[in-house]
Structure 1
């Protein structure tokens, strides 16, 4: 058995010197990095907004009446009402709720202090 490397017919062999000038994907790497940074900032801002909104909602005495399930149900009703006001409210509330629920252990501590 021979150890041969067979290249396709349309393959262009590049020498070591030519590899210096080959740059692939630089634009896409920068674009994906920028998108990641923007996404992280938006997610962070949504998380902070969600924590602040939850804290102010919990500071209203009438929202804390009842057992845990009653309070959660009341909170979901209020979130649903806010979501129905506009598509931007819907998107903002979905992202912030997902962030707050996704980081639940941290969120509970931040809401209660």
Structure 2
């Protein structure tokens, strides 16, 4: 019975110090992930609240679905054109609301 391992010709053993680079993320990576999730969650909540506020105006709800969506797109474009920060904020909020469309629909109906 053989009691040795055959390794590829180009194999190099790693020391303990080198293993820290292969084991994956660090505490900083975890913090960045948590902050990113918090930003997306707050953008989602903000987007839903803005959509509810916009839909609370009765003139914004008149017409068929495509008319309402067109009016909403126009209002969003107008707000985005005000400043780069509005553009970024609205892009992230709209993206999260659209990405979670089934949940968004339920929250907007309630």
Aligning the two structures, in what range does the TM-score lie when normalised by the shorter sequence? 0.7 to 0.9
Gaps of 5+ in 1: none
Count of residue pairs brought into register by the alignment: 105
Query: Is 1:94 aligned with 2:96?
Result: no
- Aligned match of 1:24: 20
1:6-47: CA deviations, max 9, x gaps? 665xx5675xxxx4x776148x51121111101000000000
- Aligned match of 1:50: 47
CA distance in 2, matches of 1:13, 1:102: 42
- Aligned match of 1:37: 34
Query: Is 1:68 aligned with 2:65?
Result: yes
CA distance in 1, matches of 2:81, 2:64: 26
Question: Could you state the TM-score of these two structures normalised by the residue count of structure 2?
Answer: 0.82
- Report the Cα offset of residue 97 of structure 1: 0.4
Secondary structure (helix, strand or coil) at the match of 1:66 reads: coil
Gaps of 5+ in 2: none
CA distance in 2, matches of 1:13, 1:61: 67
CA distance in 2, matches of 1:13, 1:104: 47
Secondary structure (helix, strand or coil) at the match of 1:85 reads: coil
Relative to structure 1, the CA distance from residue 95 to residue 22 in structure 2 (aligned partners, 3 Å threshold; closer, same or farther) is: same
